[in-house]
Amino acid sequence: MLFFKPYRAPVKGAVVLITGAGSGIGRLMAIEAARRGARAVIVWDMNAQAGAETAGLAEAAATAPQFRAGSFHVDVTDATAVHEAANQTLDEFARVDILINNAGIVTGKPLLETTDSEVQRSFAVNTIAHYRTVREFLPGMIARDRGSVVTIASAAGLVGVPRQCDYNGSKFGAVGFAQSMREELRHMRSHVHTLLYCPYYISTGMFDGVKTKFPLVLPILTPEKVATQVLDAIDRGTQFKVHPPIVRLVQILQAFPVPFMDAMVELFGVADTMNGFRGRAGDATK
């Protein structure tokens, strides 16, 4: 029990569902999953047209015989919509082997400028939606004793950053959710795999305008690299991945006194990364 490990859930032959896959890394993961031999790719997105476009691109990239792609217009902040879409998904595809919770949103405002509705939406998309989607598809995985639940969180779920109070809080929540879910599954001896992925900033436009002080050490990541890393991690059975690896240092630094931790955050320029933030207003995908 001490070293109980989940089974791997390879992308090849799997039915893969990705939330927020109408654009950004969600779209790239959908295409790459199809290219790697997924049996089916299911796109959930707020933008029905963008979701359908992603499904079409996945079909064009598919290598598996009799590949299927599906697209559903879903607002992951709406519990009823999630439940109905999940039922439709299972009716059409029978099962979901790999669930990738990718949908995300950021406001990029100082705490005192962030409205109550913006805070609630950040948590609804970045945290609460994970609970809803997992409740729909995890029971089937547990019954089959295999599958994978992927949480696309953020380095912002490991360390606080100015102008990210709502985003940081929601991503810390996603990290805690993923860690607790992993322990629950391990405790019940389920072989269902979980992956918690925490990347630094990604150049999708969601964080347009952010800067990094040391690009060789803390680079702004390309969406193509991130999409490939996530699927590689699923295929390898990795359970926790941070990129770039130096971000793991923040977990070590948190054991030191707060003034030292704050000094390190300043030294690496993390506290200034959002100074030029513009982002994409209302963007709800990675």
Catalytic residues: 167
Answer yes or no: are the C-beta atoms of 197 and 233 closer than 8 Å: yes
Answer yes or no: are the C-beta atoms of 274 and 197 closer than 8 Å: no
Return d(Cα 117, Cα 119) in angstroms, integer. 5
Return d(Cα 154, Cα 164) in angstroms, integer. 12
Question: What is the token pair recorded at 214?
Answer: 């040391």
Question: What is the token pair recorded at 280?
Answer: 């994409």
Three-class SS of residue 253? helix
Q: Indicate the helix (H) or strand (E) that contains 175.
A: helix 165-187
Return d(Cα 75, Cα 3) in angstroms, integer. 38
Name residues whose C-beta falls within 8 Å of residue 205's C-beta, 6 or more positions apart in sequence: 24, 279, 280, 283
Answer yes or no: are the C-beta atoms of 104 and 285 closer than 8 Å: yes
Answer yes or no: are the C-beta atoms of 214 and 246 closer than 8 Å: no
Burial of 214 (C-beta count, 10 Å sphere; 0-12/13-18/19+): exposed
Q: Which amino acid is at 100?
A: I
